[in-house]
A and B are shown apart, each in its own frame.
Chain A
C-alpha cells in the first residue's frame, strides 16, 4: 500500500478532529505546539479587533514558522535506507538494545536526526526515541542508531514502525521518514535462580520401553542416515538422498538416554506477583535443565497444558510458552492425565503460587507414585500446613544474589 492509499484510508476511517490531533501529536514538538497555538490565538484575537498591534506578533510568528517549515521541508529526510537487525530475545527487566543502521542515499547531508521505534509490547504501545539528535549524516554515509529498551512485561512484542526524524532547523517540527515493520520478538520471563538440588531417579527397563512406545518417533532424536536394509519401514526412507544419489537410505533414530523431568506451574492464582515469581522460577529451572542435562526431556505443565521439550533444541521454545502464560483454572484429574502422557518421570518440580486444598490434593496424588518431588511455593501462607519438601520462594530474598552472581551468565546463554 503506497503513501496515498494509506493516507486516504486514514482520512476515511477517522473524523476530522482525530486527524488533526494525530498530525498535531505526531509532527510537532512541545515548543512547536506552543508556538502554533500562540499563532492561532493571535490570529483569532486579531481577527475580531481592529488593532494592528495584535497582528505584529502574529506576523513575526508567521515568519518564524514559515522559515522553519520551508527550510525543514527542504532538509527533510527523503532518500534513506533503514537496515534493521533483528535483536536477540530479551528478558523482562534486563536492558536490551535495538540497533538500526541508517544510510543516507541522497545527495545532500541530513541534519539534527532522531531515531524512533514504535512497538506493540505486552505492556501496550511504546515509542522509543533517541534522547539527543545526531548533528549530521553526510550524503552516502551510514550510521548506527542504538535504542536501549527494558521490557516491563513478558510476552511477544512486535515492532510496528521505525522512523528517522529530522528536527532541523529549530526543533519545532518532526519531519519523518518511516518504514512499516512486522518483526516479532520475545521478552522472556526473567530467571529466578534457586539452589535447589534435584536428584532424578533412574528409569528401569519397563519404564524405558513404555517411554519408547509413547514417544516414537517424535520424541526420538535424529541420528543420521544409513543404507536401506531389508525389514526397514519405507516410512523412514530419506527421500532427498534417493533423489540426489539414486541410493536408498533410511533415517536412523537414537533413543534418548537422559531423564524425564516435569515442571508443574500453578496457574490457579489471584496474586499476580506470586504468579510472576512462579513463572520466573519455572523459567530458570526449565532453561537450566534443558541446558545442562544430557538428553533430558523436560515436560512443562502449565495448569492443564503440557508441552514436552528436548535438550538443546527447545530451550527457547520453553521460555516462549512461559512468556505467554496466563492464569487459568485446573483440576487435579486433568493435571494427572496430562502428566501421564510423559510418565514415567524421573523427577517432578511443583511450583505453586499459593497453597490450598487443590494444591494439597495434587501433591498427595503425585506423592503416591513415589517419584522425587520438589515443591516451591511463591506466596507467604501458613507454612505449618506445607509438606516437608515445600520451600518458600521469595523474589526479594533471592534477587540480590541472583543479580550479581547468576543473572549475567544466563543472559549470555540467551544471546
Chain B
C-alpha cells in the first residue's frame, strides 16, 4: 500500500524544527536548510511530480550521497572530532539524510512504515553531535521537546472528537477521556525529563572512565585528597557526592583538611606529623580540646558534623574552631598546624564542634616550620623573583605583598576545569604563572605559595572545603565533593597567626562549579530524603532494643500530652466524614424498589378485564397492563395507544424505578400525574365499555 500525496503540514513543521537544531549557529547549514525547505515548498506547486523508486534505488541514492559527501565534499578539511564521533561522518550522514527527506517529499510512501518521520528523527539525532549543540544543551532539549510534543499533540488532536454531533457522551466518559489524555502528557514530561537527569547522572559517573579508556585523557574527580598533583593534559570532573553534612546556623566557609608544605615538580605533599598523639591523657567521657592559645570569652556556636566518607579520620575544622567534642575512648592526634585526626574503623562518623568568630589561627612555629614554609625549588626561584619584581611593591609589609599577589590572580587569571598538555622540562606551576593559563584552585594556590616563598614570606597550601549548600528537607548544610578547594595560609610573624588568602577568582569559581548555589528541587528532595533515611538508620543502629522501646514510650507519652495531636485527630475525622459524604454523593447506585402496585393500577386492570369480557376478547397471558395493551391494541386508535403506553411507562417507573433522593420528588410528581391519568383511564375504559354496549346488538343482529 502506498500514499501518493504530499506529506501533511505536520511533517513540514517537524522538519523545520529539526533543521533549526541542525543549522543552529551555523550559516552554511542554515543556507542548506533554507534550500531544502524551499524545495519541499515548491513540491506542493508541482503535484504531478511523483517518483516511484524501489528500495534498491533508495539505498543506492543514500549510499552514493553519503560517499560523495564524505569522500568528495569533506575530503580536504581537517576532521573535527566530538568525543569519539567523526564530525565529517556525521555531516555527510546529515546531508544525505536531508537529500533523502526531500526525495521522500517528492515520491510515494508506504503505509506500513513511516520512513519520513524516521528520517526526520534521525536528522534530529545526528544534529545532537555538533560542537554548537553540545555547548547549548538546553536549546537541544527544547527543540526535542517541541518535536515530540508536536508529534504528541498532533497525533492526539484529530482524535478529540468529543463534540461530534452524533455523540452524546456523558460527562463521566469525557472526564475519563481527558484524564487519560492528561496522563499521557504527564507521563511524557515527567518520565522524559527525569530520564534526561538520570542519563546525565550516569554520564557523570562513567564519562571519565570512558574518556580515559577511549582517548587516553586523564580525568580526575573533584574532591578532597591528602596531596595535590599538578600536571598538564588533565581535567576535573565535578562530583555531586556528599562529603559531609553540617547541622547548625551559618557555618563558616573555609574548612581546613590538610596542610601541604613540600613542593616538588608540581606535586604537593603534607608534613607527616598527624600520627603524633595530641595528648597522652586517657580520654574519658566528652573532652574539650581547646585549640586557641589565647582564651577569649566569646559566644560559641555548636555544629554537628556527620562524615559520609573515611578521609583517613581527618577532622575537618573551620579556622574559627574553638572546641571539639568527641566520643569517649577516642584516640586523637594533632599536629603543629592545628590539624586533627582520630583513629577510625568505619566510614561514617560524627563529631561536634564549637566555633567562635576568630578567623586567624595561632601560629606555634619554630625554626623548622619556617624552613618548611620557605622551601622553593632552586631552578624556578629566579624566575619567580623576577615575576615578583614586576608585580609587588618593594619594601611593603608581607601581608600587603600577599594581597597584591592575590589581586593579580583575581584580575589576570581565568578559572577552568581543564589544563591542556604542558611543555616538558618546565615546572608546571611556573608554566602556569608565566603563561597565565586558565586552571583550577590548586594551581592558583600553588602559584601564590611559591611566589610568596620566593619573596621570603612563609606560606603553605591548605586543602579543604570552601562552601556548602542548604538542604531544607533535612535541615542540614551539605558539603559536596565539588566544594573541595585549595587555598593559601601566610604567616603573620608580628601577630603570630596564620592569615588565609584565596587566589582563586571567586565569581568564576562559583559560576563554573556551581558551588554555593542552591541545588535544583529534585536534587534537594532526593538528597534530603536519603539523608533523613540514613539518619534514621544510624539512630536505630546506635541504640539497643531497650533504648528504642524506651524512646518510643517517651515519644508516645509526649504525643499524648500535646494538644496538637488531638487537633490532628479531629482534622482526620473531619476529612473522613467529608470523604464518606462525597462517596455517597458520587456513587449514586440506583436501587430497585419493588413496591406493591397502587390501588388504581389494580383498578385499571380490573376495568380492562371487565371490558374485555364484555367484548369477548381473550385474556392476555399475564395480568399486566402492557399485556393488555398488546391484546387490545388492534382495536385502539394511534392516540389511544400512545396514551396507554405512556401510562404504562409511568407505572413501571414508579414500581421499579431507581430509589434516590433526586428521583423521589419526581416520583411523587409521577404519582400525582398518575392519579389524574387514572381518572382519564376510567373515562376511557367506560367509553370503550359504552362502545361495546353499542356494538354487541349489532353483532347479535348479524
A, B in one complex: yes
- A residues sitting closer than 8 Å to B (CB atoms) are 30-31, 33-35, 37-38, 41-42, 45-46, 48-64, 66-68, 70-71, 74-75, 108-109, 111-112, 133, 135-136, 138, 168-172
Taking a contact as CB atoms under 8 Å apart, the answer to whether A49 and B117 are in contact is no
Known A-B contacts A63-B195, A64-B188; A136 and B152 likewise in contact (beta carbons under 8 Å): no
A70 to B188, CA, bound (A): 10
Minimal Cβ-Cβ distance residue in B for A139: B173
User: When chains A and B are docked, how far (Å) is the Cα of A169 from the Cα of B153?
Assistant: 11
Contact (Cβ within 8 A) A62 B176: no
User: Are B173 and A49 interface neighbours, CB within 8 A?
Assistant: no
B164: chain A residues within 8 A (beta carbon):
135
- Is B687 engaged at the interface, CB distance under 8 Å to the other chain? no
Q: Are B189 and A51 in contact (CB under 8 A)?
A: no
**Are B85 and A51 in contact, with the CB atoms below 8 A?**
yes
Q: Is B155 an interface residue (CB 8 A)?
A: yes
Contact sample, A vs B, 22 pairs, CB 8 Å cutoff: A30-B111, A31-B117, A31-B151, A51-B83, A51-B129, A52-B200, A55-B199, A57-B128, A59-B192, A59-B198, A60-B192, A64-B152, A64-B188, A66-B187, A71-B183, A75-B180, A109-B176, A109-B177, A135-B161, A135-B162, A169-B156, A170-B152
Using Cβ atoms and an 8 Å threshold, which residues of chain A touch B82? 51
List CB contacts (< 8 Å) of B155-201 with chain A: 155-156, 159, 161-162, 164, 167, 169-170, 173, 176-177, 180-181, 183-193, 195-196, 198-200
CA A66 – CA B141 in complex, angstroms? Answer: 18
- Within residues 551 to 607 of chain B, which ones have a CB less than 8 A from any CB in chain A? none
B242 to chain A, nearest CB (A): 23
A403 to B125, CA, bound (A): 57
Cβ-defined contact, A172 with B117, below 8 A: no
Residue numbers in B under 8 Å from A38 (CB-CB): 117-118, 121-122, 125
- Among B137, B145, B184, B210, which residue has its beta carbon within 8 angstroms of that of A169? B184
Chain B residues near A30: list those with CB within 8 A: 110-114
Q: Is B134 an interface residue (CB 8 A)?
A: yes
CB contacts under 8 Å to A, within B485-519, are none
Interface size on B, residues (CB 8 A): 64
Which of A57, A62, A66, A70 contacts B125, CB < 8 Å?
A: A57
B152 and A34 contact, CB distance less than 8 A: no
Complex alpha-carbon distance, A55 and B204, angstroms: 13
CB of A68 within 8 A of CB of B184, answer yes
Q: How far is the CA of A74 from the CA of B170 in the complex (A)?
A: 20
A41 contact set on B, CB distance < 8 A: 122, 125
**Shortest distance between the CB of A297 and any CB in chain B (Å):** 46
Seed contacts A68-B184, A168-B159; 12 additional CB < 8 Å A-B pairs: A30-B110, A30-B113, A52-B200, A53-B134, A55-B203, A63-B192, A63-B195, A64-B148, A66-B187, A109-B173, A135-B164, A168-B180
User: Contacts A33-B113, A57-B125, A133-B159 hold; do A50 and B191 have CB atoms under 8 A apart?
Assistant: no
The reply to whether B121 and A34 form a contact with Cβ atoms under 8 Å apart is yes
Taking a contact as CB atoms under 8 Å apart, the answer to whether B155 and A67 are in contact is no
Q: Tell me, yes or no, whether B211 is within 8 Å of chain A by CB.
A: yes
The reply on B324 being an interface residue by CB < 8 A is no
Residue on B with the closest CB to A69? B187
A11, B112: Cα distance in complex, Å: 25
**CB-nearest residue of chain B to A108:** B176
Given contacts A31-B117, A138-B173, whether A60 and B196 have CB atoms under 8 Å apart is yes
Do the beta carbons of A136 and B173 come within 8 Å of each other?
Answer: yes
Which secondary structure characterizes the binding site on chain B? Answer: helix
> In the complex, which residues of chain A have a beta carbon less than 8 angstroms from the beta carbon of B654?
none
Q: Which residue of B lies closest to A42 (CB)?
A: B125
Question: Quick one: which of A34, A45, A62 has the most chain B CB within 10 A?
Answer: A34
Chain A residues with CB below 8 A from B169, complex form: 136, 138
B57 to chain A, nearest CB (A): 20
| Minimum Cβ distance to chain B for residue A267 (Å) | 36
The answer to the question of B140 belonging to the interface, with a C-beta cut-off of 8 Å to chain A, is yes
Complex contact B85–A169 (CB within 8 A): no
By the criterion CB–CB under 8 Å, are A59 and B187 in contact? no
Does chain A have a CB within 8 A of B133? yes
Set of chain A residues within 8 Å of B185, measured between Cβ atoms: 67
When distances are taken between beta carbons in the complex, the residues of chain B under 8 Å from A61 are 148, 192
Choose one: B117, B144, B193, B214; the contact of A35 (CB below 8 Å). Answer: B117
B187 in contact with A71 (CB, 8 Å): yes
Max count, chain A CB within 10 A of own CB: residue among B145, B184, B185, B211: B184
- Please indicate the chain A residues that have their CB under 8 angstroms from the CB of B112 in the complex: 30, 33
* Bound CA–CA A37/B122 (angstroms): 10
Evaluate contact between A52 and B118: CB separation under 8 angstroms. Answer: no
A56 and B122: CB pair below 8 A? no
Contact B167 A136 (CB under 8 A): yes
- B144: chain A residues within 8 A (beta carbon): 56-57, 60
| B214 engages A50 (CB within 8 Å) | yes
Q: Are B121 and A111 in contact (CB under 8 A)?
A: no
B97 at the interface (CB under 8 A from A): no
Q: A56-B128, A60-B148 are in contact. Are A111 and B199 (CB under 8 A)?
A: no
The verdict on B433 contacting chain A, using a C-beta distance below 8 Å, is no
Report A262 CB to chain B, min CB distance, Å: 46
CA distance A56 to B127 in the complex (A): 12
A128 → chain B closest CB, angstroms: 13
Bound CA span A63–B173, Å:
26
Q: Is B684 an interface residue (CB 8 A)?
A: no
Within 8 Å of chain A (Cβ to Cβ): is B530? no
Measured between alpha carbons, how far is A219 from B650 in the docked complex, in Å? Answer: 61
With A49-B83, A62-B191 given, is the CB distance from A67 to B118 under 8 Å?
no
Q: Which residues of A contact B170 (CB under 8 A)?
A: 138
Specify the chain A residue showing the minimal Cβ separation from B83: A50
B195: which A residues are within 8 A, CB to CB? 59, 62-63
Q: How far is the CA of A4 from the CA of B398 in the complex (A)?
A: 86
**A56–B190 CB distance below 8 A:** no
Of B118, B122, B177, B193, which contacts A63 at CB under 8 A? Answer: B193
B592 → A minimal CB distance (Å): 16
Interface residues of B in 205-254 (CB under 8 A from A): 207, 210-211, 214
Cβ–Cβ contact B192 & A135, under 8 A: no
B124 close to chain A: CB less than 8 A: yes
Partner of B84, one of A48, A60, A135: A48
CA distance A113 to B233 in the complex (A): 61
A63 with B191: in contact, given A52-B203, A56-B128 (CB under 8 Å)? Answer: yes
**One of A51, A60, A170 near B156 (C-beta < 8 A):** A170
Neighbour of B184 across the interface among A48, A51, A138, A170, CB < 8 A: A170
In the complex, are the beta carbons of A50 and B190 less than 8 A apart?
Answer: no
CB distance from A134 to the nearest CB of B (A): 9
Contacts of A67 in B (CB 8 A): 183-188, 191
Tell me if B84 and A111 are in contact (CB < 8 A).
no
User: Is B115 in the interface zone, CB < 8 Å from A?
Assistant: yes
Complex alpha-carbon distance, A136 and B176, angstroms = 11
